Amino acid sequence: MQLIDGKATAAAIKEQIAQEVAQIVAAGGKQPHLVAVLVGHDGGSETYVKNKVLACEKCGFKSTLIRFEEDVTEEELLQCVDKLNKDADVDGFIVQLPLPKHIDEQKITMAIDYRKDVDGFHPVNVGRMSLGMPSFISATPLGILTLLQHYQIETSGKKCVILGRSNIVGKPMAQLMMQKQYGDATVTVCHSHSKNLKEECREADIIIAAIGKPDFVTADMVKPGAVVIDVGTTRVPDATRKSGFRLNGDVKFDEVAEKCSFITPVPGGVGPMTICSLMKNTLAAGKKEIYD
Ligand SMILES: Nc1nc(=O)c2c([nH]1)NC[C@@H]1CN(c3ccc(C(=O)N[C@@H](CCC(=O)O)C(=O)O)cc3)C=[N+]21
């Protein structure tokens, strides 16, 4: 079994980005600028946003964090999005999800200018990605594709089972894995109502688990030599940690690791790659690589 080191891979990519940014700035160009909008004080969201700000520093980007309290109105948030859309100094921005229940996430996502949508969540980017056109690709799927490439894992013609059908991971991942220029794989998507989920997994060459259920994928579900990508990052109580919790993936790591050819750990696997893909998208936004 080979451990896929997302942290090291992400660090190397951020280093490349930093070099490119230094060249751009030396030539008189503009430093890429990413803005993150954070509503409330959810522990997980706080950590991700903090990691994004740190990654911006590593890449030589300008970064801004805009905070709102939990009771912000939809109108106020839409006004903020509108301002960021119009601000020529802002190359890309994200509104951290989940949002409080009284705010319509879809409405907010739709309001973001797709040319600044470095999360790749806007329907224009989702649609273009599905058609194989240039677009911002949502960061977690892009990070997973990058890891597969980096570790030279063959995907073409392989049977890939994706667990989960979320808009930000499962669905775009399925699209990308089936497309000729990305995964070129045979893709099956399983979810909470799938009747034959275990059987599908047992036949998979590649399993991508993105359901948010700790330790869901067990050794009996994995074919010997399969590649296992774990997207789950659930906080579970752990009295032995000073934080009081630990991050748990969707895969029962110890027993699955013994059986598979490659596996991503949690933490240190897909999470850091998600952040570094957001940096890639922000650089592309700054360079106006996708949209003028
Ligand atoms: N608009 C929006 N865009 C997102 O990209 C987005 C979002 N909302 N909402 C939540 C999910 C989740 N997500 C993660 C990012 C980094 C780590 C990450 O850095 N994980 C580290 C550990 C972090 C820790 O120590 O807690 C790791 O796995 O090694 C994990 C998960 C982005 N998301």
CATH number of the domain where residue 164 is located: 3.40.50.720
Count the domains in the chain.
2
Classify strands 234-237 and 245-248 as parallel, antiparallel or unpaired.
antiparallel
- Interface predicted TM-score (ipTM) of this complex, two decimals: 0.96
Query: Of the listed 5, 91, 96, 116, which one is catalytic?
Result: 96
Q: pLDDT of 243-291, one tens digit each? A: 999 999 999 999 999 999 999 999 999 999 999 999 999 999 999 999 9
Give all strands (DSSP E) within 169-222, no chain letters: 186-190, 206-209
The CATH number that applies at residue 104 is 3.40.50.10860
Is 240 annotated as belonging to a binding site?
no
Which structural domain range is residue 78 located in? 28-113
CA 38 to centroid of ligand 1, rounded, Å: 13
Q: Is residue 263 part of a domain?
A: yes
Q: Is residue 154 part of a domain?
A: yes
pLDDT of residue 292: 86
Nearest ligand 1 atom to alpha carbon 247: 26
Is there a single domain that holds both residue 32 and residue 108?
A: yes
Asked about 119 being catalytic, the answer comes back as: yes
pLDDT of residue 187: 98
Query: Of the listed 52, 116, 158, 252, which one is catalytic?
Result: 52
Best of 233, 248, 264 for a ligand 1 pocket test (most atoms within 8 Å of beta carbon): 233
Mean pLDDT of the chain: 98
pLDDT of residue 193: 97
State the helix-helix crossing angle for 6-26 and 43-59, rounded to 10 degrees.
50
Q: pLDDT of 176-221, one tens digit each? A: 999 999 999 999 999 999 999 999 999 999 999 999 999 999 999 9
